[in-house]
Amino acid sequence: MELLVFVLSSAMVLVGALGVIAVRNPVHAALSLVLTLFGVAVHFVSLEAHFLAAVQVIVYAGAIVVLFLFVIMLLGVDKAENLQIEPFPVQRWLAGIVGLGLSGLLIATIVRGRDTLAENEPLPASGDDNIRALARNLFSDHVFAFEFTSVLLIVAVAGTVLLTRKTSPAEKAAAAEHAARLKTSQGQKAEL
């Protein structure tokens, strides 16, 4: 039963991941990403991380992918990309070699270190107190990091507002005037 769940959710994860990198339309890539994220959430459930599975669905599939889709629609880049164009001729082959080599090396390492993992017996399932244990750990051992993430979120929001703000016409005129003044002063310096 566990093996069946593992195989099915792994198939979801891998099909979704391949869809993200192989589909031409960005909207379809975002929807493939949802498939991958749901597969990872199923893995979290079978690994007894119930809270993280819920957060994975709510934050990743609910917020981040929606943000992706929102930006795709906002910018109107939802037309299919031509994947035939290759600015660097060997880039795709090299990327394939890098991907295969990376996964090969990682899997070789894992398989070699398998005995280390197998030494300890699998621990009994923690049952229903996953959220309680996570909360106790988060608010006792990692409370400073938790508070700092709030600072991070504030900085990210403020920075994004600043980045995407459209400059008003008055500010644009002021900037142009400043540039012109700079140019004339430089010209005077050059004459001197």
Partner 1 sequence: MLAAIIPTTTYYLVLASVLFAIGATGLLIRRNPLVMFMCIELMLNAVNLTFVAFAIRFGNIDGQTAVFFVLVVAAAEVVVGLGIIISILRRRPGATADDLAELRG
* Residues between 34 and 93 with contacts to partner 1, criterion CB under 8 A: 36-37, 40, 43-44, 46-49, 51-52, 55-56, 59-60, 63-64, 67-68, 71-72, 74-77, 81, 87, 91-92
Q: Three-state SS for 51? A: helix
CB of 43 vs partner 1, minimal distance in Å: 6
97: its two tokens? 């070699």
CB of 128 vs partner 1, minimal distance in Å: 14
Of residues 142 through 161, those in contact with partner 1 by CB under 8 A are 142, 145, 149, 152-153, 155-157, 159-160
Q: Which of 21, 173 has the CB closer to partner 1?
A: 21
21 binds partner 1 (CB under 8 A): yes
Residues near 134 by beta carbon (within 8 Å), at least 6 away in sequence: 51, 52
Q: Which of 114, 189 has the CB closer to partner 1?
A: 114
Cβ atoms within 10 Å, residue 30: 22
Q: Which of 127, 189 has the CB closer to partner 1?
A: 127
| Residue 13 Cα to chain centre, angstroms | 15
Per-residue interface string for the shown chain with partner 1, residues 94-123, x marking contact by CB under 8 A = xxx-xxx-xx--xx--xx--x--xx-x-xx
How far is 54 from 14, CA to CA, in rounded Å?
A: 21
How far is 28 from 72, CA to CA, in rounded Å?
A: 11
* Ramachandran class of 71: left when φ > 0, alpha when ψ lies in -120 to 50, beta otherwise: alpha
Q: Which of 66, 174 has the CB closer to partner 1?
A: 66
